[in-house]
Structure 1
Amino acid sequence: MRYIVHTLGATASAAALVLSGLAAGTAQADAAGDTGLYTPSALVLTVGRGEAAETATVERAVTLNCAPTPGGTHPSARSACAEITTVNGEFARLTHTSDRPCTLEWDPVTITAAGVWEGKRVDWSATYGNSCEMRESMNGSTVFAF
């Protein structure tokens, strides 16, 4: 009988230690989660020659990371991230119709954005008749100015 009581006591002590360890681990995980979680925003932006994203020859490409802090190889990462945030990641809203004239030369330029914006997959592209049309439609935006 003494053996059973002694075994039950040891088992209860071991269970208490395990449960207290789990509780402490959970508390530490919660504390770390408060400061370490963010929604990822990382993109690859390209400018290339061609009529479609699938066939264009990429001439320039940069990476743009916007969370947790702006960075990447984009020369103006902070302002590019701010512009994309302003349009809620809808790249089509970055383009505008311009009144400035461009030549009618057909030398197509395709721009692309691929990656993740605020946790959602992005795969966007737009094609312009030439680099002047692209530049004017971006209306001073820094997102594709690299």
Structure 2
Amino acid sequence: MPNTARWAATLTLTATAVCGPLAGGAHAAPDSVSPGLYAPSALVLTVGHGYSAATATPERAATLNCAPTASGTHPAAIKACAELRAYGGDFDALPDRDGAMCTKQFSPVVVTAVGVWQGKRVSYEHTFANECVKNSSGMSVFTF
């Protein structure tokens, strides 16, 4: 897939993830809490093989919306949102899982997160040596 098409797909997913929760009925129930009270936290997460996002082909993608409630296509959205909240949305601060044993095989895997976290734009990219190393890092956020 050409880079232009990949970026177009990523931007479309990001717009859907960010703007989707904001669209809704014009009338809210009197006892409901307005979604406008929360800073948006909506991300598009991708995983692909390659050295960088510019050269990698995205193989999997998931949306993760964390405000006002956890939702999206991420299989463990509640857990992933809780982990990101615990570390202030800092992907680099997410701890490694204990006890992971990985080979030293070099087959680079790149992960990205694009969107907003608590109202601030996020653009994160990290390359791991292989899939095992990726799965042992960052808790459940990039495990999908």
- When normalised by structure 2's length, the TM-score is 0.71
> Which residue in 2 is equivalent to 1:120?
120
Deviation, structure 1 residue 137? 2.4
Deviation, structure 1 residue 95? 4.1
- When normalised by structure 1's length, the TM-score is 0.70
Name the larger-Rg structure: 1
Residue 14 of structure 2 is aligned to residue 50 of structure 1:
no
Deviation, structure 1 residue 51? 0.4
SS at match of 1:72: coil
> Which residue in 2 is equivalent to 1:41?
41
> Which residue in 1 is equivalent to 2:143?
145
> Which residue in 2 is equivalent to 1:69?
69
Deviation, structure 1 residue 100? 3.9
Aligned Cα root-mean-square deviation (Å): 2.0
Deviation, structure 1 residue 98? 6.2
> Which residue in 2 is equivalent to 1:107?
107
1:30-86 CA-to-partner distances (Å, cap 9, x unmatched) read x9xx84421000000011100012211111100001111111111111111110000
> Which residue in 2 is equivalent to 1:130?
130
SS at match of 2:42: strand
8 A contact 1:98–1:137 mirrored in 2: no
Number of aligned residue pairs: give it.
Answer: 112
> Which residue in 1 is equivalent to 2:12?
none
> Which residue in 2 is equivalent to 1:18?
none
8 A contact 1:38–1:67 mirrored in 2: yes
Paired letter, 2:136? E
Higher share of residues assigned helix: 1
Taking every aligned residue pair, what percent have the same amino acid on both sides?
53
Q: In structure 2, how many angstroms separate the alpha carbons of the residues matched to 1:97 and 1:127?
A: 17
Gaps of at least 5 residues in structure 1 are 1-30
Gaps of at least 5 residues in structure 2 are 1-29
Paired letter, 1:128? F
For residues 132 and 67 of structure 1, do their structure 2 counterparts lie closer, same or farther at Cα, with a shift above 3 Å needed? same
Instruction: State how 1:5-24 maps to structure 2 within 5 Å.
Output: none
